[in-house]
Amino acid sequence: MLDNHNREINYLRVSVTDRCNLRCVYCMPKEGLSLLGHKDILSYEEILRIVNVAVKTGIVKVRLTGGEPLVRRGLIDFIASLRKIESLQEITLTTNGILLEHFAERLFQAGINRINISLDSLNPGKYRDITRGGDLHKVLRGIEKADSVGFSPIKINVVAIKGFNDDEILDFAKLSMSKPYQIRFIELMPIGDTADNNQQIYLSNDTIRGKISSFIPLEPVNGNREKTDGPARVYKMRSAMGEIGLISAMSHEFCESCNRLRLTADGHLRVCLVSDDEVDLKSPMRAGCRDSELENLIKKAIFDKPKRADIHCYEHQRKKCVRNMSSIGG
């Protein structure tokens, strides 16, 4: 359905857990993070009910995220149940890739259409540092496995971080030369407990683009017309098999074309990534509400989706967004 600002809202990101097997420094605090208890998180049945109702309002695409979605037990059966919802055209997944080698084949068979894998360094030591303990080789094996079972195009999410991976931008970009991957550079956002630090290490995508272009010109993918893929502006290095995506939430606002809603693991519908104004769906469901009431709550939330977020301003932002990215789902 259309929201109050004439945007078609057709995409729901579902965080299936707030737990994660990594602790990326820009996403989660090192310690002191309180995690949801078992009864606080939505059961798979509850998520299925919400998605079934959401498709009636026009949702056609669902992305599973987290926390780390692959750490939640029963995910494959849940995906197979989601797949049975006829009007759902696409189910995608965002993962840190640590468990992907193990799950890739079953994810593909269960009906995941596409996968995004987060990877912020190609250096094992640096990867371990930024994720507070992750093993780069597991992720690389996961990517290869996802490729070999047939996922395409694979998208690699790279959060650009000043003083950390700015010396690896070209190495990442070059991955798109010989593989049909889309390498997506994501600007760091001031969300939750890590907001203060993120401000210090923010790196703009204009800088990234400049670095790549000084090596090889970036060409628009569709002739002279700029291609967009969701919030990403998409380019190509000459004669590359894959693409470069720039997701510039801080420097190039894309609220005007936002088509998404987010469902948090504790059952709150979040209509804007950076606004803590949420609609609680879990309580009414657990109090026995009817599907029609649930549908009205979702429709009202869509209708009231704010026109834009004050996303350019780190100061303003920090005061508004209390949740950590790991509990929102990215």
3-class DSSP state of 12: strand
- The residue type found at 22 is L
Cβ proximity to ligand SAM: between 262 and 305 the closer is 262
Binding at 23: pick from ligand SAM, ligand SF4, none (beta carbon under 5-8 Å per type): ligand SF4
Please count the CA atoms within 13 angstroms of the CA of 21 that sit on its side-chain side.
15
Stretch 118-137 residues interacting with ligand SF4 (CB under 6 A): 118
Q: By the criterion CB under 6 A, which residues form the site for ligand SAM?
A: 20, 26-27, 65-66, 68, 94-96, 118, 157, 159, 186, 188-189, 191, 198, 325-326, 329-330
Binding at 198: pick from ligand SF4, ligand SAM, none (beta carbon under 5-8 Å per type): ligand SAM
Cα torsion through 226, 228, 233, 234, rounded to 10:
-80
CB 323 within 8 Å of CB 264: yes
Residue nearest to ligand SAM according to CB distances in the complex: 330
Phi, psi of 201 (to 5 degrees): -110, 15
Going by their DSSP bridges, the two strands 114-118 and 90-95 should be labelled as parallel
Min separation Cβ 247 and ligand SF4, Å: 14
82 in contact with ligand SF4 (CB under 6 A)? no
157 in contact with ligand SF4 (CB under 6 A)? no
Min separation Cβ 210 and ligand SF4, Å: 26
Cβ proximity to ligand SF4: between 245 and 329 the closer is 329
Binding at 28: pick from ligand SF4, ligand SAM, none (beta carbon under 5-8 Å per type): ligand SF4
User: Which ranges constitute the DSSP H helices of the chain?
Assistant: 44-56, 75-83, 100-110, 124-131, 136-149, 169-178, 195-201, 205-215, 282-286, 291-303, 314-320, 325-328
* Crossing angle of the two packed helices 75-83 and 44-56, in degrees rounded to 10: 20
Cβ proximity to ligand SF4: between 24 and 273 the closer is 24
Cβ proximity to ligand SF4: between 92 and 118 the closer is 118
Which strand (E) or helix (H) includes residue 227?
strand 227-229
Evaluated on CA atoms 306, 68, 61, 175, the torsion sign reads: positive
96 in contact with ligand SF4 (CB under 6 A)? yes
Cβ proximity to ligand SAM: between 156 and 173 the closer is 156
Name the nearest CA neighbour of 47 among 59, 30, 34: 59
189 in contact with ligand SF4 (CB under 6 A)? no
68 in contact with ligand SF4 (CB under 6 A)? yes
Binding at 16: pick from ligand SF4, ligand SAM, none (beta carbon under 5-8 Å per type): none
* Residues binding ligand SF4 (CB under 6 A): 20, 22-24, 27-28, 66-68, 96, 118, 325-326
